[in-house]
Structures are given as C-alpha cells and as structure tokens.
Amino acid sequence: MKLPDFAPIPASLPNTVPFVGPETLQRQIGRPFVARLGANENGFGPSPKALSAMRDAIAQVWQYGDSTSHDLLQALSAHCAVPVESLIVGEGIDGLLGLLVRLMLAPGEAVVTSEGAYPTFNFHVAGFGGVLHRVPYREDAEDPEALLAKAHQTGAKLIYLANPDNPMGSWHSGRTIEAMLDRMPDGTLLILDEAYVEFAPEGAVPQIAADDPRVIRMRTFSKAYGLAGARIGYAIGHPTLISGFERIRNHFGVNRIAQHGALAALQDQDWLRFTCSEVATARERITQIGKENGLLPLSSATNFVTLDTGRDGRFARALVRVLEENGVFIRMPGTPPLDRCIRVSCAPEAELAVFERALPAALARLR
C-alpha cells in the first residue's frame, strides 16, 4: 500500500532543521554539557514569582489554557502602553513568525532578509512557497539600506530585521528603524524581531505607533524573562493585521502554565532588572575571556557575546566541536563571513568559569 504523496511545497524541501538542539548533541557525545552556553537561554532563570505561579497552575493543567490569553493581554497592554487590539500572544516568536508568513505570503511572493540572519524565519518562508532574497551584513550588522534596496527591486511583501541582532549581537538606533519605515515600498511589511529588546541600550528601541500598518514587532518571554521552555511570546501590530491571526492560529496552542508564568514574570520587573544586570556582568566576563585568548569580542546588546576568531568558518566550526567534546555547548553563525565567529551565551559565573578553562585548551589543540 502506497503512502500518499506530500503536498508539493513540503515535498520540495530538504529534510533538515535550522538548529541541532543541545539534547541531541549530548546524546551524540554520550554525556551532558557542563556549560550550556549556546542557545541564548537565560541561565539566571525566571522570576521566583513566575515559578510559583506555574507551580500553582499545574493542578489545573487538565484544563485548556485561556484561548484568548485575556489576563496576559491586559497586562501586556498596560506594560507596553498599547491597545489590546494591537496585541497577539503566541507560541514564542517562532510560532508567531510561522503564522504571520502563512497569513501574509502567497506562493512565489518575494521576501527579503539578511544572509546569516535568524534561519527559522527562512524555514517558514520556504514552507509556504515564498521566494527568499538575501542581502549581506555590513560591518557585522544587518544593513537597512541593502534590505530596502532589495525590497524595492523585488517588490517584497515582507522584510525581516532583528534589532538587536542574532547572531552578531549588533543593533541599530531606533531612529534608523523609524527612517527605514518611511522608505519602504507600499504594501511591504517590516517584521521587526525584538527578541532581545530588554537588553537593548537606550535609544535602540524605535518609537513606532502600535497601529502603524508598515510594521509588526515580535517579542518574547524566552530571553530576558527566562521562560524559553514555556514557548510564549507576543506581537504588536495594526489591529486589522492582529485580528487576521484569529483566522489561522491554534486557539489553544498557548498552554495554561505558560500563560500564568508569563503574567507573573511581566509583573516582576525587579527580577527583570536583576537579570539584565547579571547579563551585563556576564557580557563583560565573556569579553574578558575572549580577549585573554586572542579573540575579538564584538559589542553586544543581547544576552550573548560574539567572538571573532580571526580565522575562517572551518576553524570556528572545529573550535565549536572541540569545546563540545569537552562539555561546553556554544554556537556560531552559519554563513560566511560571519562564520569566522563563535557565539557564547551569558550565564552564571560557574558555567563561564568552565568556558574560561576549556577555551585555551581547545585553541591550543587546534593551533
């Protein structure tokens, strides 16, 4: 008996994933990592109040989550000073990106992104039949001018830009993003990925009206709020665009425990400030370790530091593998010339001390 064929678009795609998870890598090497510094998770953990709220919610896990995320939306509305109608909660930025691409993109329509930028977005575009056009980074940052030029050239429906950026940690001023909106083609939507916005320096966050039809802003509880495993994030956009998500989203996709945890985390801004302070200290520590070992740290507005090896992608990949073999999980950009670098997530001192010991030995082995 023959298995029915896949639909044409999925059938045309490679059987790959954008990231190999640390659990998979641990199974491959046969032991757990001593230092988990590769996924930009928040090793300082979520607010104790968020943990308490999630523990209390466990007894009600037999119930579906609130399909409207009402309480969390009300709290986000107050926190962000935007109307509830301009907000949608979803299964992290990854889930919201997939919904947005499905909502906005017809097969064959053009999308512009940066070569080496967050690859999960590219998977969504390919999965719905879009045509990706990529522009290079400029001076280790996404290039708004090149993105705009390519969008005008291709008639792009969507432009993707992360600010601050992953994988390089760079950022643009809010005024740069605001000026970019004024020069976009008519009918083009900017997807502004602000996963790391809580770590951004003053002046990096653009002042954009919630109902601006030219942009949708994606944010998450995975990074600064320490809830990566809960898979919960939100978007800010024009009410008509936001209402469109109701046509296609999984209405019970955000689980009850995550909703309670995110609400409590949002209400504990003292813990957020503590986390941001710890991340800043950890960035300085990673910077110091990199310099001591002849690597060039790039300025970062995120919870990781990108270290330039001064070599090429082959060397950086070898360094990542050697560190993995010695219990240290890090990652690297996947596209030249960015792949000359490695990327190290901020973490508590004990894990950074492991990295500090492992790095010179790994470099010595390769050299």
For 291-327, the DSSP string reads: HHTT-EEPP-SSSEEEEE-SS-HHHHHHHHHHHHHTT
- Domain range 20-45+270-366, its CATH number among 3.10.580.10, 3.40.50.1820, 3.90.1150.10, 3.90.550.10: 3.90.1150.10
Cis (ω within 30 of 0) for the bond into 337? yes
Q: Label residue 28 exposed, middle or buried (CB < 10 Å: 0-12, 13-18, 19+).
A: exposed
- Give the position of tokens 């992608």: 313
Residue-range domain boundaries for the chain: 20-45+270-366, 48-267
Produce one character per residue of 94-111: b if its CB has 16 or more CB atoms within 10 Å, e if not.
Answer: bbbbbbbbeebbeeebbb
Q: Work out the burial of residue 201: count CB atoms within 10 Å of its CB; fewer than 13 is exposed, 13-18 middle, 19 or more buried.
A: exposed
The pLDDT of residue 83 is 98
What does 65-81 look like in DSSP terms, one character per residue? PPTT-HHHHHHHHHHHT
Q: Burial letters for 248-272: b for 16+ Cβ neighbours within 10 Å, e otherwise?
A: ebeeebbbbbbbbbbbbbbbbeebb
Q: In a 3-state reduction of DSSP, which class is residue 215? A: strand
Q: What does the pLDDT profile of the chain (367 residues) look like in tens digits?
A: 899 999 999 999 988 878 889 999 999 999 999 999 999 999 999 999 999 999 999 999 999 999 999 999 999 999 999 999 999 999 999 999 999 999 999 999 999 999 999 999 999 999 999 999 999 999 999 999 999 999 999 999 999 999 999 999 999 999 999 999 999 999 999 999 999 999 999 999 999 999 999 999 999 999 999 999 999 999 999 999 999 999 999 999 999 999 999 999 999 999 999 999 999 999 999 999 999 999 999 999 999 999 999 999 999 999 999 999 999 999 999 999 999 999 999 999 999 999 999 999 999 999 8
CB 91 within 8 A of CB 254: yes
- Give the C-alpha separation, 135 to 129, whole Å: 19
Q: Is there a common fold for 20-45+270-366 and 48-267?
A: no
Give the whole-angstrom CA distance, residue 148 versus residue 144. 6
Q: Which pLDDT score, from 0 to 100, does residue 367 have?
A: 83
Q: How many residues does the chain have?
A: 367
- Tell me what pLDDT residue 291 has: 98
CB 265 within 8 A of CB 221: yes
CATH topology of domain 48-267: Aspartate Aminotransferase; domain 2 (3.40.640)
Residue carrying structure tokens 């970062």: 300
